[in-house]
Copies of this chain bind each other. A is one copy, B any other.
Amino acid sequence: MQILPSLSTLAPTLRQRREKLAQRVDFPAILWSGQPSPRNFPKNLYPFRASSHFIYFAGIQLPDAAIALDRGQLHLFADEAPPSNTLWHGETPSRSEIAAAIGADAHYPKTELRSRLAEAATLPASDRLTQLEQADFLGRSVVPVADLPPEHRDRQLAEAIVSLRLIHDLSAIADLRQAAACTVEAHYAGMHATAHATTEAKVRAAMEGAILARNFTCAYNSIVTVRGEILHNESYANPLNSDDLILADVGAETPTGWAADVTRTWPVSGRFSATQRDLYELVRLAHDACIAKIAPGVEYREVHLLAAEIIAEGLVNLGILRGKPEDLVAMDAHALFFPHGVGHLLGLDVHDLEDLGDLAGYATGRVRSDRFGLGYLRLDRPLQPGMLVTVEPGFYQVPAILNDPERRSRYGEVVNWDRLSRFQDVRGIRIEDDVLITENGSEILTDALPVEAAAIEQIVRQ
């Protein structure tokens, strides 16, 4: 049963978005919503998620549809649900009802799309079936925009959409606040569940249960683990031990498709050990300082480097690193323990617009560094009001990094390995919030969730 959005609130927003697009490109664009993906057999489908570009302009998650955007007009291409659909899926709105709800200027059966495609630009779909349809309908290959020359229309369309989606409008921000609020609830639920949980899976269940209870979905596969040093750990099989830290990176997505992305790290026992507390407070110091720095005009790369410097300085103070913090950062020694970027864009996608490679994340003319301490930075552009970014410094003891012979040789002198061995009860710590750049500075959308060690301990022990 397709739920239609409220016409009065959504349609004007969608009109503004396509008018802004029309100011940027003077050729037609076609955006496909995508096809559901089968799980283990053709009729057992993963929950459908429409293409974010489609959602941005069409406002709904309608499978097997396309929209044509041209000079501020929106034409919807979709087939009516077959009559048998009513038996299995209930009454479905007609195409004309959908068109009215999203303020489409016209609507047609999907086959009509073929006659409108001449000269149209598009962006590659995520699912393979729609990719094949795109190539078939357009009579040309549709390739990742990063591989296209600047004058290609698909690339020009991508750049125009990036310039729109980078700066969230009020409707988007309202939805992003909802995603953030639901995500905060999920983290509270996870902390509260810890006292009686015996496995990672039980904490994850409490967190995702809080998201499902709101009828939201997970924006990405949750990380809920005592092995926080495995950065994208998606296993939940470990038991909880009383001296473990739980690292939980869990974010909700609204039914309209907007995401949040939050990480907290807490002690299973409800009390950080002295070593855990030292490193937790260091990560929190970096987190707070980075957020305090965020404002219009600030280079996000500088936010990343600030986190690196604070972590390097803190590790010197704790006796884990040796040397001057600025020298340590210059030689990427911080990345031994903080090997990822300090954050990324957030919006309809948890790594917003990452389907376009670094087109959104990196300002024109900039490319990824090959430095150990910068190569994983997903965002390198000056911040502007309306952007939403994550701030997520961390500290990890990754065996693959710390035991790597080349790195042990290169950094052997600056690491006090003996001292480090006293922090073995810290595998991974990350603290991540979602930060909206405002006219005057920034606003943390997820600040209803504390970061201070004492506050975290109190929630866990409640």
Contacts and interface: CB of A to CB of B under 8 A. Distances in A.
Contacts of A213: 199, 201-202, 205-206
Interface stretch (A46-54, A110-118, A265-273, A280-288): A46-54
Interface string A1-19: 1010000000000000000
B44 A235 contact: no
Nearest to A221: B47
A295 interface: no
Interface in A119-153: 126-129, 132
Contact of A233 (B90, B214, B221): B90
Given A128-B129, A215-B199, A232 B42 contact: no
A351 interface: yes
Contacts of A462: none
B221 A212 contact: no
Given A208-B209, A209-B209, A215-B237, A37 B40 contact: no
A47 B209 CA distance: 17
A232 B40 contact: no
Contacts of A45: 221
A211 B46 CA distance: 17
A128 B126 contact: no
Given A90-B227, A202-B213, A37 B41 contact: no
Contacts of A230: 1, 88-90
A348 interface: yes
Contact of A351 (B37, B41, B210): B41
A204 B209 CA distance: 9
Contacts of A39: 46, 49, 126
A212 B205 contact: yes
A67 interface: no
A205 B199 contact: no
Contact of A350 (B37, B44, B211): B44
A87 B400 contact: yes
A231 interface: yes
A126 B201 contact: no
A349 interface: yes
Interface string A319-350: 00000000000000000000100000000111
A355 B236 CA distance: 30
Nearest to A125: B38
A339 B87 CA distance: 9
A332 B167 CA distance: 59
Contact of A232 (B41, B88, B214): B88
Given A201-B215, A212-B201, A236-B215, A86 B400 contact: yes
B127 A38 contact: yes
A354 interface: yes
A460 to B, nearest CB: 18
A42 B83 CA distance: 34
Contact of A42 (B47, B126, B208, B235): B126
8 contacts: A1-B230, A37-B127, A40-B51, A42-B354, A88-B230, A89-B233, A128-B129, A209-B212
Given A38-B127, A40-B126, A90-B230, 12 more contacts: A37-B37, A39-B46, A41-B351, A41-B354, A44-B349, A44-B350, A87-B400, A89-B232, A91-B399, A128-B132, A201-B214, A205-B212
Closest 8 CB pairs of A and B: A209-B209, A90-B230, A205-B212, A201-B215, A128-B128, A205-B213, A37-B37, A41-B355
